[in-house]
Amino acid sequence: MDLKTASALRRLRLVSAPEAVSFLILLLCSVLKRTTDFNAVPVMGAIHGVLFVLYVIFWLDAWNRTKWSFGTAALYFVLSVLPTGGFFAERKLRRESENAVIAARAREEGTVNA
């Protein structure tokens, strides 16, 4: 894995968890808006919107650089629209990047011809 691909995966990973947290907070704010006088939906909606747009941009970049299959790319996108999906995406991306680092080190050491 080259440095640009690793960076693309890292960016996607770093925005996954905050995007998921903002989605959950937005849902909580929506419930509070309807049950109390508290209305933070406009603020949280904007924050979540920015994080979601960043997630989609980073997702497209990672898909382009990693050459994921359509199914893998679709999985990461679906995880972005589920309330807790960003946490699962982050965990899966972390494993994927760790495996890529291990494979790159093995190739450098000559133990694997991959």
DSSP 8-class letter at 89: H
Match 């849902």 to its residue by tokens. Answer: 27
Closest CA to 65 of 5, 6, 10, 3: 5
Whether pLDDT at 31 is above 90? yes
The candidate with the shortest Cα–Cα distance to 62, out of 24, 15, 26, is: 15
Contact by Cβ (8 Å): 11, 76: no
pTM of the predicted structure, to 2 decimals:
0.84
Question: Tens digit of pLDDT for each residue in 41-91?
Answer: 999 999 999 999 999 999 999 999 999 999 999 999 999 999 899 999 999
